[in-house]
Structures are given as structure tokens and as C-alpha cells.
Structure 1
Amino acid sequence: MPDTPIPDEKIGNSGVQAVGAVVSDRNGGSTYENKSYSGVRGVMIERGQYSLGTEDINPVAQFTFVGPRVGDSKGGGTPGYEFEAFSINRDGHMIFAPDRGSERQRFNPTFNKATGTLNIKDARLKQINPDVSLICFPSRASTIFDTLDQRYFSVLKEMSVLDAKTDASPVEFSFLRPNAASGVAEIEPVAVVFAKENQRFKLIMAAGLLGKRLVLLRTQTPENPQKPINDEGGGFTTADGEEPNRITKIAYQTALDLWTLDQNRIRLLKSFGINNERVDGLHGDAGCPLDAERPSNADGTGNFDCPTESITAPTGGSLKLATDSLASKQYDIFYREARRAFGLESRAYPDVEATSQDVLKGIIFYLALLLPFSYFMERMLFGFSDVRKQIGGFTGVFLVVFGAIRYVHPAFELATAPFIILLAFVILALTIVVTAFLQSKFEAELKRMKQGVHYADMGRLSALGAALGLGIANMRRRPTRTALTCVTLILLTFTVLSFTSVTANIANFARPYGKHDSV
């Protein structure tokens, strides 16, 4: 946009210093690569005007777009164009960006793929409304360089911006992720995050089904002497002026953040006797020194002496070597070790998360087994004939055993709100019971309506329940035989679980080659 006043007979003399608008395709395409009108590729902005406004009228920016492709005679359809607006000051710094926060839900500045238009003013009269409103907010830009997955060497394109205080999406934010036109192999691994002035944010980048690949938390917070290392991350702060912020050394920062985050989780799991050898090897190789007494195993894998503290800085491995190389300005070694640590810790992070999830899934499995156990114990110990007493005895046994598991199973220490597990399980169990009851009654009613009054049958579940009750009654009359049977089952189950273990491991394969003598 020009930096000189542009006369217009409708708006009058208006000047623009920093208003621009583009039509973009966030799905990977570019408007300049698509044919616009009659095979001619034209610029998408025909005219832009900016009214400075008065005391009674707000400033208004207007742009006219000519020829966006809204259809294809060969059946290509309408591209997913999206309108964006930015404001730039005289120095070229972006000071306003399109809001992708909560306000965006009320505005959808995209083409309708079905009709090839923005929106319809009156569907019956087929009146098209060609106007679109964009919500922008005063922002400061933070540029992130080298958004590359060091394991697969692919540029990460999926972004999630979080508020550092709430770990939720900010109220106002925006971003520009790495993008390339269709059919173009080259793509710049650079992203930009827009947030309010002096706002702290965190960034997560993913790669489709591969999950989270890049996490920027800024766990090292030297400005906070009370907590110089924060495993949850203090976040990156946007600039307080118009000069944009730059986040560099992404591989080193990501490896450091992931290592600090995993260190806290691994120590918490180890405090309950939960170990994962593969995680220990990857995590130790990234940031722990070798064990002086047992540096390696028979299979060539290393044994590492990781810190015993939950929140600490790396004491060895690739991260320690990268830190020392950066201090001595050996940048080749720094980038090599930083990227190696990134690859190692990004492989360990999903395993740490999966181990924690397995613990939570295990408690759900135990609670599911607790339901038939409670029914069995109520029939064995009490054997009430009244239904209300049966329900009370069943509930009492369930709560007593749950109280014992509460102080034994580590899932309740790993969860932020432990009793939510019980509440969620009770809701799930009641939902299944009510659904099964209604389904059985519905099927019985359909059979009755189909066959008339000449219908008599016993449900399979009813027969199973009657047989189970009869068997438990016989066991109650023979306490010695029942006790011996239960002890035998407990010993067999304990033996099978103790001597059965399935593990997976990752081995590095390298074939050394000598120096090449040819010229």
C-alpha cells in the first residue's frame, strides 16, 4: 500500500500508513498460483482505501478483490480462501493482526465452498452479500525460526498457541504457520505468533498422526530466583515495543523444555516403582551422564546416572555438551548435539505420556473388575434378601475397596483431581446399566407386540444371573472349599502377572566407514 494520500470522490482524501489485506489459503495453496479470471493470473487487490475518520466516524479501511476463483468448469470447486488483514507502521512492523481467538467464532471470513460466495443476504431471492468483516487486535509479532522436526526432517505446519498463565487458548491471538503453494517443494521453516504486548505464550507444533513434535515452554526462567527452573514453562514474552521478538535456537530450546518436562514426570513415576527402560535410555542419552559403575550393558545400551531431583537442569548427555559448546562458541558442535537431543527427547516424550495414560487406564480396568467383585462379596458375606439392603451392601463393599485402592494405586497421585476418576466411572457404569435395561425392555416390548399375549421366555441375562446366584449360595454353604479356591486363584493370577512381561526396545544401528581415498 502506498504511503501517500489517495484521493477518492466518495471518501475524500485519505492516507494510509499501514493497512494491507490478502486472500490466503491456509490449507496449503496460494492465490497467486490459481487462475483468477479467464486464465489470467491477476493480483487479488484492485483498490484499497483507508479513511482516517473523525470524532464521530471511526477509521475505515476498504479493499476490493477482483476475480477470486469461485468455481471450476472441470469440477474443481471453490478453494478454501480466507481473508486476513494486517496493519503495518512506517518501519514495517506489524501492529495489528487478524484475531483467531474467541471473537473469531462470530465472524467467518472464508468462502462458502458450496456457493462460491462469502454469505447470502437472502437465500430465497439469491441476493449475495459480497462484504466481509475482519476483527483485528493490537499485537506484537514473535518470529520462530527453524520449525523443523529433527527426526523426520519435515517442516511442522500445525500450530497451537497457549496462554502461559492458563495453558488455554488466549482471548486474542493469531499466527502464521509455514505454508507453501501447491506443487511447490520448497517451504521456509518459519512461523510467526501474534499476541498482545507483554503477553506470555507457549507454542505446540504437531505433524498430523505423528502427534506433538515441537514444544516451546521456556522452562529455564532465570528472572525468577524463587523458581529458576519451571517444568511447566514460564512462556515466551512478546515485545513491549513495536520491534518484533525473535525466538532462535529452536532445536536446543525444544530439547531442553522436553527434557525438563519429562524429568519431572519420570521421577514421579519412579517414586511409585513404574519404570520404562526405553524411556530411561532415551532420556538419559539426551541429558544425563553415564553411570560410572555400569556405563553400558551387554547389548551396547548405556546406563545413565540421571539426577534424583524432579526439577533440575541437564547434567550430561547431548544437552550438556550443547550448552558447553554454545558457551565456547563452537556452533557446529552446538547445533549437532542440540538436534540430536531434540530427536532423542521427542522420541521419549510420547512414551512418558503413554506410560502415564496406561496407569490411568489400569485404574479404570480395576474399577470395572470391582463391580462383579462387590456383587460377589455381598452375596458371600451378607446374602440379603431385600433389594435395598443388597444395593447398600454392594455400595459399601465397593467404597471400602475403592478407599484401599485410593492409597495404593499411583493413578490417584498422577491425576490432578483424583476423585474425578471415581465420578467418571460411576457415571459410565450407570449409563451402561440404564442403557442395557432400556434396551432389554424395548426388545421385550417389541416381541410382545409382535407375538401377542402368547409369549413366555426367559432372558439370557436373567438365566445367567440366576445361575450365578445359585452358585454363590452353594459356595457360601461350604466356606472351607470356597476359601481354598479363592487362595488358589489369587496365587495363580499373581504368578502369571509376576513372570510375564512384554517390552519393546529401540536400538541404534550404525555402520562405520573409513575415509574415502578418491579425489
Structure 2
Amino acid sequence: GKTWKTYIPGKIAFDSEVATLAGKTGIAFATIDDARMMTDTPFDAINRMNINKNGNLHKQVKTMASILIQALRDPLMPTSAKVGNFYCNLYGDVVEYDARESALPSKAVPEPIITLRRKHKTMAGARGDLIIRGDNKGQFEVVGLAMEGRATNRMGGAQEIEPYVLDRNSGDIVYAPDLGNYGAKVYNNKVPIDRRQRGCRVVVFPCVSTTIYDLVDQRSLRTLRELQIYDAGTDSFPEKYGLSKPIQQQGVSATEPIALVYSEPDKRIKIGMSYGQIGKRLLLIKAGRSGTKNPTLYTGEGFVVGENGSIRVTPYVVIRDMWWLDENRNRLYKKFGISSDRLDQLHQFANERLDQARDTLLKRDYSQALKLARAAWGFESRAYPDVKKTGNDVVSGVMF
């Protein structure tokens, strides 16, 4: 026989899940064979609902009322669910690190907005993510989370807690989760919900946000998932930083190609992204012609983020940085008679399309500019590993 899931396409959320999660009886009524194709689109409007007397909604309500009355009067109707009570509560507070007050983060951040992202962003119109507002002491409580390993399985076995504070006038993010040395490395913001009552402390920091788009590897056409943030002065992780990127939803192959980077105001940072073992595929380092004695040590100047903003034509900025990084290193190799025809050809192809993309941007032909920038990115991302490999081969040849 077929299970009930056969008749309901896609993921769906029921109010009865709250009762069954607590070990109580829950009854769900759902329309079968309804994919809800208009949900989350501009076409999901009230005028598309058939509310006439003999319409779908009228017939369903009559049927449901009859079934519900009979079910409640049935003496053989089960009165208790044969499941355990896996209803959990999460409570905690949001703080920031202030060295003048304490050696550990303890300064309360009032009225934070806490986000708990879950496996499914939307379930036939019902939002999967939870959003809670803390009080003026930064304290919050989330009631009714499913117990890990019993009622659900979260990514990594823990729930990531993301508090934010928004500017009252502009709506900009002014505080974000701190993943640095005095943030998540002291108080981890990924908490396992493995008991009825679970407490936590989450650290945030004053920040500005940078949005980057079109995070797709132009060779494999995969969305880049691993994101790294570096301090431009030391090429190491900043003391305070954060990031937001889409999670891989269960049963959904696509991932949104967008990410937000949080940094301290007026700090100089660099950004890199990769996918698994294929290495770096995206660099945002503000590279130019190297003036250093050894271009192999040159990794860009980094860019200063003074206010909330975005890198709108991300592919163009990425390819420009990657091209200059390879150009500086390739020039050094050629001074010592080291060259590769294949590398030079790929590098030249990328340069031609990069110049064309710049010209079309000046003409405000953005769709064509993005097309050319992506093509250049594809060529240069193939040349970049060759440049690195050439440098490694030189070192190996000298040493061995």
C-alpha cells in the first residue's frame, strides 16, 4: 500500500505536530495531490482561491466538519499518541565582549532578534525558520523545539543560534554573531537540543555587513559553500567576524548563491570561497599591480568596509582580483625563464573578456557584462591552479 506521503507532494507543516511532539494526540487534515505551485510567488493571491458556494474550499470544509464530529464522538478513537515527549525549551542571553568590563563576554545586548534556521526554509508556504525577539536584557526563550536524535536530526547534530540587532531607522544589521576568538570560540553558538531544558549564551559584535552575489563556480556550476574571511594585515582570521550563508536544504539540490559577511567598521578584510577539495574558486582581495619585491607573497590589499553595502557585480570584481594575482606571479616566473603556453593562453582569454566586461559595464549593459565576467572567471579559475602548481614545481625542483 501507499503511505500518506505519496499523496502530498513536497514538504508540508501541520499544527498537529506540536501536540504529537509533546506526546499528545494530534489530528491533521490535508488536501491531497496539491502541490501549491503558486506559493511563494507573486501569483499567490486571495482572488485565486475558490470561495464560491460549490467551490473547492466549501466542499472541503463541509467534509472536514463531518469527519471531525464523527471522530470526536467515536469511542474507539485513540486518545493518546504512542510517542514519547520530545518537547524541548531553549533559553539564553545575548552578550558582547567588552574588555573593560570582563575577561569574558558578558555585556548584555538589549532587544536582539534571534534566528533559528532549520532544514526547510519553506514547507508549502509555512516558514521553517524561527524568529524570536529578546528582552531589554538580551534574554530569550524558545519553546517547543524537537529533541535531537529523537524527533529530528539537525545538520551537525546541533542548532545554530544567530542573534542580530537592527538599526531602528534604516533596518541595517548593526550587531551580528561573532565567530572570532572572543565569540563562538568561547561560547559556541551551535547548541545540541538533547534535553528538555537547554541554556546557552551567544556573543555578538558591532558590525557592518557586505553582501556578495552570484557565488557559482563557473567551471563546475556548483554553488560555493565554504567561505573564509581574513584580516588583510595578517592574512589570518580577524578577531571579530561573522558570516551568513544559505544552508543546504534537505531534499533540495539548489542552494541560493548569496552570502553576507560581517566585519568591524573600517576594518580591512579579504574574502575567499571554495567548494570541497577543488580549492579556492572565489577571491575578493582588491588586487592590483604588485609593488612588492616578491610577488608570490602578494595577496592583495584587502578592502575597507565602512558601512553596510554590497558588491553588486561580484563576478567582475572576483575575476579582476584573480587576474591581477596571477599576472603578478606569472611575470615573476617569466623573469627566470619559467613559462607555460597553456597558462598564458587561458590568462589571455580571461583578460580579453575582462576588458570587454569593463566596457559593457560603462555602457550599462549589465546582462552582457555579467556574461563576459563569468566567462572570464571560468578561464581564470582554470589558470589559477596552474599558477600555483608552477610555483610549487619550482620549489620542488630547487629542493629536490
TM-score by length of 2: 0.64
Residues 2-401 of structure 1 correspond to what in structure 2 (within 5 A)? 19-24=112-117, 29-30=119-120, 44=130, 48-51=133-136, 60-73=137-150, 79-90=157-168, 91-103=170-182, 104-112=184-192, 116-117=194-195, 130-220=198-288, 232-240=299-307, 244-287=308-351, 317-365=352-400
Q: Distance in 2 between matches of 1:159 and 1:42?
A: 24
Q: Distance in 2 between matches of 1:31 and 1:109?
A: 20
CA RMSD for the aligned pairs?
2.9
Q: Deviations over 1:256-298 (max 9, x none)?
A: 11110001111111111111221111011111xxxxxxxxxxx
Q: Does structure 1 conserve the Cα–Cα contact (< 8 Å) formed by 2:241 and 2:262?
A: yes
Instruction: Determine helix, strand or coil for the equivalent of 1:347.
Output: helix
Q: Distance in 2 between matches of 1:359 and 1:94?
A: 47
Instruction: Determine helix, strand or coil for the equivalent of 1:132.
Output: strand
Q: Distance in 2 between matches of 1:354 and 1:70?
A: 48
Q: Distance in 2 between matches of 1:41 and 1:330?
A: 37
The structure whose RCO (Cα within 8 Å, separation 6+) is larger is 2
Equivalenced residue count is 281
Aligned pair in 2 of structure 1 residues 171, 42: CA closer, same or farther (>3 Å)? Answer: closer
Q: Does structure 1 conserve the Cα–Cα contact (< 8 Å) formed by 2:244 and 2:261?
A: yes
Structure 1: tracts of 5 or more residues without a match:
1-15, 34-39, 52-59, 118-127, 222-229, 288-316, 366-519
Q: Distance in 2 between matches of 1:76 and 1:179?
A: 15
- Counterpart amino acid of residue 342 in structure 1: W
Q: CA deviation at 1:354?
A: 1.0
Q: Distance in 2 between matches of 1:330 and 1:41?
A: 37
Q: Does structure 2 conserve the Cα–Cα contact (< 8 Å) formed by 1:44 and 1:67?
A: no
Structure 2: tracts of 5 or more residues without a match:
1-108, 290-296
Q: Distance in 2 between matches of 1:75 and 1:195?
A: 33
Q: CA deviation at 1:186?
A: 4.0
Q: Does structure 1 conserve the Cα–Cα contact (< 8 Å) formed by 2:288 and 2:325?
A: no
Q: Distance in 2 between matches of 1:197 and 1:22?
A: 23
Q: CA deviation at 1:24?
A: 3.2
Q: Does structure 2 conserve the Cα–Cα contact (< 8 Å) formed by 1:142 and 1:194?
A: yes
Q: Deviations over 1:331-385 (max 9, x none)?
A: 34322221111000010001100111122222332xxxxxxxxxxxxxxxxxxxx
Q: Distance in 2 between matches of 1:329 and 1:48?
A: 42
Instruction: Determine helix, strand or coil for the equivalent of 2:191.
Output: coil
- Counterpart amino acid of residue 66 in structure 1: V
Aligned pair in 2 of structure 1 residues 42, 139: CA closer, same or farther (>3 Å)? Answer: closer
Instruction: Determine helix, strand or coil for the equivalent of 1:191.
Output: strand
Q: CA deviation at 1:30?
A: 4.4
The structure with the largest alpha-carbon Rg is: 1
Larger CA deviation: 68-77 vs 179-188: 68-77
Q: Give 1 or 2: higher strand fraction.
A: 2
Q: Distance in 1 between matches of 2:127 and 2:322?
A: 46
Q: Distance in 1 between matches of 2:171 and 2:386?
A: 44
Q: Does structure 2 conserve the Cα–Cα contact (< 8 Å) formed by 1:155 and 1:178?
A: no
Instruction: Determine helix, strand or coil for the equivalent of 1:283.
Output: helix
Q: Does structure 1 conserve the Cα–Cα contact (< 8 Å) formed by 2:329 and 2:387?
A: yes
Aligned pair in 2 of structure 1 residues 18, 278: CA closer, same or farther (>3 Å)? Answer: farther
Q: Does structure 1 conserve the Cα–Cα contact (< 8 Å) formed by 2:227 and 2:271?
A: yes
Aligned pair in 2 of structure 1 residues 80, 268: CA closer, same or farther (>3 Å)? Answer: same
1:449 is aligned to none
